[in-house]
Amino acid sequence: MDTLKLRGLSLVFSSSRASYEISLLIAKHGKNHTIGEQLTKPAISIFLKTVLQKDDGDIRTMPLSNNTVSNRIDEMGQDVESQLIEKLKLRKFSLQMDESTIRDSEALLLTYVRYIDHEEFQEEMLFCESFETTTTANDICIKIKHYLDANKIPKENLLACAADGAPAMMGKNTGCLKMMKDENPNMLTVHCVIHRENLVAKKLSPVLNKILQSVIKCVNSIKRNSKSERLFKQFCINQSAEHVRLLLDTEVRWLSSGNCLKRFMELFDQINDFLSDKCEMKLLSTTDGKAFVSYLTDIFEKLGNLNKQLQGANMTLIDAKAKIFGFITALELWKKKFSKRNFSELYWLSKCEITNDAGIVIIDHLNILIKDFNDRFCDLKAMNFPSWLTQPLLINVSDATIQYQEELSELQHDESVKTLFKLKGTKMWLYDEVERKYPKISTSARELLIPFPSSYLVECGFSAVDNLLEAKRNRLEITKRGDLRLKLTKLSPQIKNLCYFFSILQRGKRPRHEAKKGFRDAVKSNFKAVIVDVEDWVQLTRDQSVWKDVIYDGCKPFETRRIEQSILKRALRKQNLTSIPDTLIPGNDCNISLSKAGIALHMRFHDGIY
């Protein structure tokens, strides 16, 4: 064997693999594609020469140009998408989606899926596509239907779909979810619980709304220009205040009101002195005014904490229901305590003097919140989850549905399941052992756990879109490139497979499917000139050095002598040499004939050479 050839092949493969790995890292961190050539390679070279005292010649040959990194990212994005599609073809899943407008008035539809794999919830971006013109419910529905049909994902596998309360999504008669449910009657539709909670938080009485608007005006009067903000900052420094800046309140950011009010109360004395002549501040500095600001600060902080609890991955409808109605119970408890003038539950309010009139306004607002919560979450309240789902070991078996009673009785005496439930809770139903032992009840439990309660992941996805489309990258075609998928995915691209097939052919200009065909033809052409001992074929396939050398020779047509080798290959095919497919014995685990599969594919099925 020519060791130089083997070293060259190994170097090409290693460089290609490193190129893929670094490109994946660039995509994960949302960096510009030019950073590989401009920063990564020089940094590695400096480290090699100064720390390891080694030559950096191999590093300089590593392909990390802008176009190469872009192509690598696109290839890995397509690979991850293919993996996801194959999983969804075989598994039940739920969907969450939302539509938003980005720069240049481009409207995007972003969707996420949740399915069960490796005994855990897996949450992945399904697709991100742009709208050409309108963004009606029909347009959204067509996008989803087309993607599922194009990738042959069964609609029956879709168990539930969650979206925000926009008319195009949740309209009772013409909403997208209504149209999807008409085609798939068994699909559950979910109005995002985080969006509903935010709508409840906006419900204020006229008195409290006036107080909130006064706070916002005071903050804006300081933040309106750089001069007033600098003066206020210096004023706070002179008084040794804990903070020196105020926080703005915005409608888009759901938690901003609570943060704005909390900072306002922390700097209340400084703001009162700084804006002593402002009429809004005079209102807020009264006894009732300060009490109302304190109450709003506390209640918005509580609502903000609830909002955060409803966020995050792996949240189920059961979890959301428990948190929502647990908060309603807390509101009712506070109302009873406030009626007895016990305000200890609210930090800022407990420091204030509370008049009878202020107490009435506060209790009335609690009543408004309780009623609005119950009205907006009536569907979640009516969703009665079976007791065996959350307490399978304590439920009376006779109270369960007849079809589950036999499995439940066995489950309650299964020591391994008891231990698993103590450790994992309801996530126990995701385990393969439980599904294998108790298939009926496990399948039903999974269908209740898979649905999304909110569109939280989609909102995070749009934040990632904003980060990717920064000022220097605003021309990135986010829906056509692999950057967004690789940044959001938890799946790992099959880099090794990509390297084996394409790293040696990276200088070729042929499309991927043509490169595959050329690769296989070249390898088969070389094997036709090899004298093969049938009895030693298995040993030959296991000799990876020989195999790599054959690959190297077979790929020469794609290098400088491509034309000459192609002519020679065609000449060899015309000769009546012994046909390799007729003389080689298929492996024990492979019944595919070589004439149909080809040498390369045949050997992939054998001894794990790839």
Q: What is the mean pLDDT of residues 120-141?
A: 94
Let me know: does 64 contact 19? Beta carbons within 8 Å.
yes
pLDDT tens-digit readout, 495-540: 887 876 554 444 444 444 454 455 555 445 444 444 444 455 454 4
Sheet with 158-163: strands ordered across: 120-130, 107-117, 93-101, 158-163, 188-191
Quote the pLDDT of residue 391: 92
Let me know: does 532 contact 583? Beta carbons within 8 Å.
yes
Angle, in degrees to the nearest 10, between helices 402-411 and 439-449: 100
Residue found under tokens 């296989």: 520
Least confidently predicted of 219-233, 339-353, 404-418, 495-509: 495-509
Let me know: does 20 contact 77? Beta carbons within 8 Å.
no
Give the three-state DSSP class for 120: strand
Q: What is the DSSP letter of 312?
A: S
Q: Which helix (H) or strand (E) holds 452?
A: none
Residue found under tokens 């509903």: 196
Backbone phi, psi, residue 484, to 5°: -65, -45
Indicate whether 557 pLDDT > 80: no
Quote the pLDDT of residue 562: 53
Let me know: does 504 contact 12? Beta carbons within 8 Å.
yes
Q: In this structure, is the dihedral angle defined by the CA atoms of residues 520, 526, 532 and 538, taken in order, positive or negative?
A: negative
Indicate whether 76 pLDDT > 90: yes
Q: Which of 226, 228, 224, 223 is nearest to 263 (CA)?
A: 223
3-state class percentages of the chain: helix first, strand second, coil last, to nearest 5: 65, 5, 30
Q: Which of 126, 101, 104 is nearest to 113 (CA)?
A: 126
Q: Which helix (H) or strand (E) holds 449?
A: helix 439-449
Let me know: does 598 contact 520? Beta carbons within 8 Å.
yes
Q: In this structure, is the dihedral angle defined by the CA atoms of residues 555, 558, 562 and 568, taken in order, positive or negative?
A: positive
Least confidently predicted of 204-213, 245-254, 377-386, 448-457: 245-254
Q: Which helix (H) or strand (E) holds 24?
A: helix 3-28
The residues facing 111 across adjacent strands are: 97, 127
Angle, in degrees to the nearest 10, between helices 495-502 and 512-527: 60
Distance from C-alpha of 407 to C-alpha of 411, rounded to nearest angstrom? 6
Query: Measuring CA to CA, how many Å separate 42 from each of 56, 419, 576?
Result: 10, 53, 54
Query: Measuring CA to CA, how many Å separate 524 from each of 26, 163, 499?
Result: 37, 53, 20
Q: Between vectors from CA 508 to CA 502 and to CA 509, what angle results, nearest 5°?
A: 110
Contacts of the segment 470-479: beta carbons below 8 A, 24+ positions apart: 472/32, 473/32, 474/103, 478/102, 478/108, 478/128, 479/108, 479/128, 479/129, 479/130
Let me know: does 208 contact 292? Beta carbons within 8 Å.
yes
DSSP code string of 61-102: TS---HHHHHHHHHHHHHHHHHHHHHHHHHS-EEEEEEEEE-
Let me know: does 307 contact 254? Beta carbons within 8 Å.
yes
* Residue 15 in tokens: 């460089």
pTM over 0.85: no
Quote the pLDDT of residue 228: 92
Pairing of strands 188-191, 107-117: unpaired
Residue 38 CB coordination number (10 Å): 13
DSSP code string of 256-286: HHHHHHHHHHHTHHHHHHHTTT-HHHHHHTS
Least confidently predicted of 15-19, 217-221, 442-446: 15-19
Quote the pLDDT of residue 498: 81
Q: Please report, for the chain, the start and end positions of each structural domain, with discontinuous segments joined by +.
A: 1-74+492-506, 89-198+453-488, 199-382, 387-450, 519-555
Quote the pLDDT of residue 230: 94
pLDDT tens-digit readout, 448-504: 999 999 999 999 999 999 888 875 666 778 888 899 999 999 999 988 878 765 544
- Give the distance from CA 24 to its chain's centroid: 16
Q: What is the mean pLDDT of residues 330-335?
A: 96
Q: What is the mean pLDDT of residues 224-251?
A: 90
Largest Cα separation within the chain, whole Å, is: 106
Indicate whether 602 pLDDT > 50: no
Let me know: does 207 contact 296? Beta carbons within 8 Å.
no
Residue type, 115: Y
* Residue 113 in tokens: 């899926």
Does 340 or 535 have the greater pLDDT score? 340
Pairing of strands 107-117, 120-130: antiparallel
Quote the pLDDT of residue 115: 97
Least confidently predicted of 257-261, 447-451, 596-600: 596-600
Give the three-state DSSP class for 137: helix
Let me know: does 446 contact 429? Beta carbons within 8 Å.
yes
**What ranges make up the beta strands (E) of 152-278?**
158-163, 188-191
Question: What class is the 89-198+453-488 domain?
Answer: alpha beta
Distance from C-alpha of 26 to C-alpha of 391, rounded to nearest angstrom? 45
Backbone phi, psi, residue 482, to 5°: -90, 0
The rounded radius of gyration (Å) of the Cα atoms in the chain is: 32
* Residue 53 in tokens: 């005292």
Least confidently predicted of 87-96, 139-148, 378-387, 594-603: 594-603
% pLDDT > 90, the chain: 61
